[in-house]
């Protein structure tokens, strides 16, 4: 069932559905790519946590890639192209250059698909937010970075200049970084269905803003070694969503999310995604 030709059945239900295009990332002008993107990091993490997961993404990636993740099903709406980035590091700062952009994801199901959790994880304006109306869910989170990016001269990716207006109706959690939070009008978001906005600060941990505009700060968990921070925020967002749903304890959800993210920086690509047993060991320490 875990393949690129997967056909969705409206009677089928999932633990988690993730929407967002995967990426092909070319590091430091290499001719070889590694797969990435918020949706892929989150989907593989969910599979490792034992969740029946559906990833909806436009790409050309061979179905054999997903054979090691039996709980991960992939629905591909278009196989025409991939979102591709050149990634270069200068003074430990990551610079993204867009090589190619996959088509937008568009859905129009006759019946709503049931899932416990819905995660919206665009990499670069991959879909319209109304896409969530195709699903019946209990809890929804949005990794907002992909809506705050623009490609400028020669495909260089930067954050938008102005504030971003977000119709947050039907979204419970927003995940963003310390740079991205400045693009959001917090007071407007908290008037709707938003329960929490998480803000990650890399090695300085994270903070959580609740619907009453209270702010709680959380510590960082020290990694053994720092190799590459790519994907850490995506794994953080996934853990926070899952464990808030499982425990209804937002403090525990953020703590274990911070801990899981500390593993991701220790290696390159999806090989850095930890198993839950290792996360709990570091959490307890």
Domain ranges of the chain: 13-284
Q: What is the mean pLDDT of residues 138-146?
A: 97
Distant-in-sequence, close-in-space partners of 285: CB < 8 Å, separation ≥ 6: none
Tens of pLDDT, residue by residue over 233-282, are 999 999 999 999 999 999 999 999 999 999 999 998 888 999 999 999 99
Cα gap 205→249, rounded to integer Å? 18
| pTM (predicted TM-score) | 0.94
Quick: pLDDT tens for 34-84.
899 999 999 999 999 999 999 999 999 988 888 889 999 999 888 889 999
Residues 169-206: pLDDT tens digits? 999 999 999 999 999 999 888 887 899 999 999 889 99
Whether 3 has a pLDDT exceeding 60, the answer reads no
Report the Cα 74 to chain-centroid distance in Å.
Answer: 15
Query: What is the per-residue pLDDT for 92?
Result: 65
Decide if domain 13-284 falls under CATH 3.40.1190.20. yes
Token pair 């590459």 is found at 228
Could you give the CA distance from residue 26 to residue 84 in angstroms, rounded to a whole number? 8
Element (H, E) at 46: helix 38-48
> Percent of the chain, pLDDT > 70?
96
User: Would you place residue 6 in the very low, low, confident or very high pLDDT band (cuts 50, 70, 90)?
Assistant: low
What value does the mean pLDDT take over residues 91-100? Answer: 83
Query: Taking Cα atoms as reference points, which of 128, 126, 18, 147 lies closest to residue 82?
Result: 126
pLDDT at 32 over 90: no
What does DSSP say about strands 206-210 and 196-200: parallel, antiparallel, or unpaired?
antiparallel
Cα separation of the two ends of the chain: 38
């Amino acid at each position: 069932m875990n393949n690129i030709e997967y056909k969705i059945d409206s009677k089928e239900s999932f633990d988690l559905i993730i929407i967002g295009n995967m990426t092909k990332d070319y590091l430091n002008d290499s001719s070889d790519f590694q797969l990435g993107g918020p949706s892929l990091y989150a989907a593989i993490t969910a599979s490792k946590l034992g969740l029946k997961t559906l990833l909806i993404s436009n790409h050309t990636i061979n179905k054999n890639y997903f054979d090691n993740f039996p709980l991960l099903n992939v629905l591909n709406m278009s196989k025409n192209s991939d979102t591709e980035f050149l990634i270069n590091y200068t003074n430990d700062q990551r610079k993204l250059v867009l090589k190619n952009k996959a088509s937008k994801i568009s859905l129009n199901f006759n019946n709503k698909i049931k899932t416990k959790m819905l995660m919206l994880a665009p990499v670069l304006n991959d879909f319209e937010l109304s896409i969530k109306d195709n699903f019946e869910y209990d809890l929804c989170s949005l990794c907002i970075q992909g809506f705050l990016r623009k490609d400028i001269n020669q495909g260089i990716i930067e954050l938008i200049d102005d504030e971003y207006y977000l119709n947050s109706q039907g979204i419970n959690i927003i995940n963003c970084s310390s740079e991205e939070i400045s693009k959001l009008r917090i007071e407007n978001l908290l008037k709707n269905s938003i329960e929490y906005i998480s803000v990650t600060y890399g090695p300085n941990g994270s903070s959580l803003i609740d619907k009453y505009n209270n702010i709680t700060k959380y510590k960082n968990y020290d990694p053994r070694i720092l190799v590459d921070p790519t994907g850490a925020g995506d794994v953080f967002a996934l853990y926070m969503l899952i464990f808030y749903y499982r425990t209804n304890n937002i403090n525990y959800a953020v703590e274990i999310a911070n801990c899981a993210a500390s593993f991701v920086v220790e290696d390159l690509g999806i090989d850095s995604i930890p198993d839950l047993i290792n996360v709990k060991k570091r959490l307890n320490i």
